[in-house]
Amino acid sequence: MIRRLNNVTVPLSDLNGLVEFYEKVLCLKKQFECPTYVIFDCGGVEIGKHESRWAKLLFERIFYRVVKLTKRNA
């Protein structure tokens, strides 16, 4: 059973300017940053931005927090 959305990762071709926009305009708190990846907190949900030259070919990844699955709820 899905409890809540845990994090979303979105591939981008360029992170330049993104961090400032998310921090100053959207007022999201940055949790982690490296040259090709940054994570922001959005009300307990992690929003990850991943820079990749293949961004147009990649898909967003959405991760859910779930309870332990059993045969009964599988």
Residue with tokens 């007022």: 27
d(C-alpha 30, C-alpha 74), whole Å: 36
Query: So what's the pLDDT on residue 51?
Result: 78
Residues 19-72 have pLDDT tens digits of 888 888 888 899 999 888 899 998 888 888 877 766 566 565 666 666 666 666
Structural domains of the chain, with CATH: 2-66 (3.10.180.10)
Residue 6 neighbours by CB under 8 Å, 6+ apart: 45, 46, 63, 64, 65
Helix (H, G, I), strand (E, B) or coil at 57: helix
Query: So what's the pLDDT on residue 1?
Result: 64
Residue 23 neighbours by CB under 8 Å, 6+ apart: 29, 30, 40
Q: Name the pLDDT band for 4 (thresholds 50, 70, 90).
A: confident
Residue with tokens 């845990």: 6
Query: What global pTM score does this model have?
Result: 0.68
Query: So what's the pLDDT on residue 16?
Result: 80
Query: So what's the pLDDT on residue 29?
Result: 93
